[in-house]
Structure 1
Amino acid sequence: MAFVGSGPVVEEIDAQFWRVVEPLVYQGDSQEFVIPAGFRTDFASVPRALVWLIPRYGAYTRAAILHDYLRTANVVSIADADGIFRRCLQELGVSVPRRWMMWAGVRLASGLRGATVGALATWVLIAVPSVVFLVIPVIVVQVFLVLFWLVELAFWGAARLFTRTAAPPPEPQMKTA
């Protein structure tokens, strides 16, 4: 129950997506999962307002890539993919609160599909305190993100007004002989 090798080798595709360059292998209890070279990932899909708490990549990057692969390839059920993700987070040493909040987030994103009554109760026990804990910081971060966007917009507008554009090149002259 661990990743085989030192870690993923990835290359950036664009501002949001990355490509796995070498196969990434995870050895589970009874199955081995191989994320093939060329697989596209966005690492952890974290809402912008929570990136201050859980960045898109970190100690859990391999778990996020595996989760993306399991969800895309449909090799296990959605609930199992989410459970493997949580187990990988533990194996990678992600702290208990962060691990459980990340698991609650991916379960919510999956619409809690395949959840048993016990899993649903566990999700509620994790999600409710997480929301209570995060609501004020998220509101503050969102307010400042909007303010920062307005400042950027103002500077962009000022730059458009006060930046001199280069004079157009002169029109070609026709020679008369």
Structure 2
Amino acid sequence: MGEFFDAEDGGSLRLELLSVDGRDFSLLRRIGYRSKRYDEPFVVPADLETFSTDLASVPRVFTWLVPRIGDFLPAAVVHDALVDEQDYLGPPVDRAEADLIFREAMIGLGTGKVRAWLMWSAVTCATMWDGRRLVDRLALILLVGVVSILGGLATLDFLDVWDVLPWMGQRPWPEELAGGAFFALVIPSALAATWGSQWPAGVIVGVALAFLLHVTVVLLALYLVYLGLERLVSGRRVR
């Protein structure tokens, strides 16, 4: 695995952050990372005009599963720098390679492998969406769209609102649950083939979405209710 270090004196990592606006942060001290993939280390500058980070870029509705801070925090800071070639010193890497370094660094910091692969898959989605290849965007839309639609239809079928999916049908509920779980694994895995070399991330994203779809919808609805209530009580936020 790679190794983090203090770029000021070469010693152990010291991650010192300065809040810019409560969401973005700059470094008070340069940090470095030596990846097993490269001979030359990556160094993130301590300069507000050069680099800032929002830590782990996790939407608030998903922070119950992956918090914005944790043992992976130094890896998130380095990843934010690597996705912009102007924000670090070190060998040039493309965004997909930066995502792999992010995963490597998280595991090296002691982040659980399940969480590390989940977070790598999440940033891979962002890479595919922000990239220049239209085919990557279409593959992402296809997987998320199909899994979301089938998840909704499976729910309606399970509740006997609409009998539409052949693997559900009018069966005892344990059989319907088993059939739904089976296809929640098979269908995303098949669609992930459209992701090319990133297919492992596609499998993880698709399966996670299939199994967490209902939880996500409920939490999103509650979060929107909270935002509406906050706006009503506190008024428009001035940053």
Q: TM-score range by the shorter chain?
A: 0.7 to 0.9
Distance 2:228 2:95 in 1: 39
- Aligned twin of 2:111: 94
Between 1:78-87 and 1:50-59, the stretch displaced more is: 50-59
Code of the residue aligned with 1:32 in structure 2: it is: P
Superposed, 1:25-64 pairs within 5 Å as 25-29=32-36, 30-38=39-47, 39-64=51-76
Q: CA deviation at 1:139?
A: 1.1
Which ranges in structure 2 are unaligned for 5 or more consecutive residues? 6-11, 87-91, 137-193
Structure 1, residues 83-133: CA drift from partner, whole Å, max 9, x if none? 000101111111122111110111110117599976322122211111123
Distance 1:134 1:150 in 2: 24
Between 1:108-117 and 1:8-17, the stretch displaced more is: 108-117
Q: CA deviation at 1:154?
A: 4.0
- Aligned twin of 1:82: 99
Code of the residue aligned with 2:202 in structure 1: it is: V
Is the Cα–Cα contact under 8 Å of residues 7 and 62 in structure 1 kept in the other structure?
no
Normalising by the residue count of structure 2, what TM-score does the alignment of the two structures yield? 0.60
The count of corresponding residues between Structure 1 and Structure 2 is 157
Code of the residue aligned with 1:109 in structure 2: it is: A
Matched, 1:8 2:15: yes
Code of the residue aligned with 1:83 in structure 2: it is: L
Normalising by the residue count of structure 1, what TM-score does the alignment of the two structures yield? 0.79
Code of the residue aligned with 2:114 in structure 1: it is: P
- Aligned twin of 1:119: 197
Which ranges in structure 1 are unaligned for 5 or more consecutive residues? 158-177
Is the Cα–Cα contact under 8 Å of residues 24 and 53 in structure 2 kept in the other structure?
yes
Name the % identity: 31
Max radius of gyration: which structure? 1
Superposed, 1:119-158 pairs within 5 Å as 119-156=197-234
| RMSD (CA atoms) | 2.2
| Paired residue secondary structure (2:99) | helix
* Greater per-residue helix proportion: 2
Code of the residue aligned with 1:48 in structure 2: it is: R
Distance 2:215 2:26 in 1: 32
Distance 1:92 1:21 in 2: 21
Distance 1:119 1:93 in 2: 26
Is the Cα–Cα contact under 8 Å of residues 63 and 89 in structure 1 kept in the other structure?
yes
Q: CA deviation at 1:54?
A: 1.2
| Paired residue secondary structure (2:84) | helix
